[in-house]
Structure 1
Amino acid sequence: MYVIGITGGIGSGKTTVANLFDELGIPVIDADIASRKIVEPGQPTLSRIVAKFGEQVLDADGHLDRAALRDIVFSAPEKRLELEAITHPAIRQHMMEELKQCESEYALMVIPLLIDTGHWEMIDRVLVVDVDEHSQLERVMQRDSLSEEQVRNIFDAQISREERLAAADDIIQNNHGLDHLRKEVAHLHGLYSVYAAEYADEVNA
């Protein structure tokens, strides 16, 4: 199956763009959703995280305390790498299982760290959702109730905007409202349908 990888910095609007593709009937597999499922109580990934970072990353009900874990890993780069070594393989495996269930002309994978981490050999084309830094900062502070310092720490842990744009096959600028996004998605959907058909012809030749 032809697979589009959607990525972008935190607060860029990846989910909004993915939802617009979903409205067109294209299956969307989201790494953020997968990341939540693999750390549900009883999951082996959660046990590995607790073994590495301690009981302090659990709340009173035994669920992952994301805020506590975020404070640990974004204050020390080596801790973030340790966490990613645990979670990223599990997220990829979960998403690949979902991809196997898809029956459509193409599928989308929403992967915030697609370019940062690599190891996504199944991705045929990269779509970057881009937004100016000021808007990005305000969105994340408001959405996640974080301080400016906390958000900038997250920015610093990700690759630069310039590196992300350089790796893109396609770019959607998310500074112009929902109507603009809808038009951009409709245009790309037409292109991706053609690419997917060509890919299918090559595979079946």
Structure 2
Amino acid sequence: MTYIVGLTGGIGSGKSAASAWFEQQEILVVDADIVAREVVEVGQPALIEIQKHFGDWVLDEQGCLNRSALRDYIFKHPEARQQLEAITHPVIRNSIIQQLNQASSPYAILASPLLLETDQHLLCQRNLLIDVPVELQLVRASQRDDQSREQIKRIIAVQMPRLEKQKRAHDIVDNSGTLEDLYQQLQPLHKHYLQLATSI
């Protein structure tokens, strides 16, 4: 059985930078965001189900999922989020499990912004939170993404509060500094996870 570490953090926290570092250590990283995009590609059963449930407007001219239209709709109709998640979450979970089961590295990382909000954390033996203050999330995410501060605030608002995430994480890395600071904190954790993985 592969030892699995859940990696999470809010928008703009640096979760992707941490994931990339673990990949450089030759650790398998399964990214739930990437899986979530894969399961709604053209022709996938989940996309067909979304179209059936919400209507043809969820598709763009190429027949792909119109993410911005769907995101706007969900913000205006909060109940639609649960309907969408009922379609996508089981498919995402199955794909994540399949990929984790194929791990050949000593342990594997499940990177997910909604690790603690969903039952994905139940797939993990340990959870690592990449943590930054909310104001820094806003600055970084607005610089990186083509989204306004207001849109990012709305995304943060629907995610689990920072303090609650801190309570539920086994390990917390403060990513308020430079990338080098982040890597220095990840190095001992990587060694610790290698030890934990060999003890199961």
Which residue is equivalent to 1:13? 14
What is the TM-score with the length of structure 2 in the denominator?
0.95
Segments of 5+ residues of structure 1 without an aligned counterpart are: 200-205
Which has the larger displacement, 179-188 or 111-120?
A: 111-120
Which residue is equivalent to 2:149? 148
Which residue is equivalent to 2:187? 186
Q: CA deviation at 1:80?
A: 1.1
Q: For the residues of structure 1 that align with 2:37 and 2:85, how far apart are their CA atoms?
A: 14
| Code of the aligned partner of 2:187 | A
What is the TM-score with the length of structure 1 in the denominator?
0.93
Which residue is equivalent to 1:203? none
Q: For the residues of structure 2 that align with 1:83 and 1:149, how far apart are their CA atoms?
A: 23
Q: For the residues of structure 2 that align with 1:111 and 1:105, how far apart are their CA atoms?
A: 20
1:49–1:83 CA contact under 8 A, matched in 2: yes
Q: After the TM superposition, which residues 1-205 of structure 1 pair with which residues of structure 2 at under 5 Å, given as runs? A: 1-199=2-200
1:74–1:157 CA contact under 8 A, matched in 2: no
What are the Cα deviations for residues 55-102 of structure 1, in whole angstroms up to 9, with x where unaligned?
A: 111111001111111111123321111111111111111111111211
How many residues are aligned here?
199
Q: For the residues of structure 1 that align with 2:77 and 2:167, how far apart are their CA atoms?
A: 27
SS of alignment partner, residue 76 of structure 2: coil
Q: For the residues of structure 1 that align with 2:69 and 2:51, how far apart are their CA atoms?
A: 12
Q: For the residues of structure 2 that align with 1:43 and 1:171, how far apart are their CA atoms?
A: 36
Q: For the residues of structure 2 that align with 1:140 and 1:29, how far apart are their CA atoms?
A: 22
| Code of the aligned partner of 2:165 | R
Q: For the residues of structure 1 that align with 2:96 and 2:14, how far apart are their CA atoms?
A: 20
SS of alignment partner, residue 159 of structure 1: coil
Q: For the residues of structure 1 that align with 2:43 and 2:59, how far apart are their CA atoms?
A: 12
SS of alignment partner, residue 56 of structure 1: helix
What are the Cα deviations for residues 124-172 of structure 1, in whole angstroms up to 9, with x where unaligned?
A: 0000011111110122223221122211111111110011111000011
| Code of the aligned partner of 2:84 | L
Q: CA deviation at 1:118?
A: 2.3
Q: CA deviation at 1:119?
A: 4.8
SS of alignment partner, residue 108 of structure 2: strand
- Please report the RMSD computed on the Cα atoms of aligned residues, expressed in angstroms: 1.1
SS of alignment partner, residue 123 of structure 2: coil
2:121–2:127 CA contact under 8 A, matched in 1: no
Change (3 A) 1:159 1:64: same
| Code of the aligned partner of 2:62 | D
1:20–1:182 CA contact under 8 A, matched in 2: yes
Q: For the residues of structure 2 that align with 1:18 and 1:48, how far apart are their CA atoms?
A: 31
Which residue is equivalent to 1:202? none
| Code of the aligned partner of 1:69 | L
Q: For the residues of structure 2 that align with 1:73 and 1:48, how far apart are their CA atoms?
A: 16
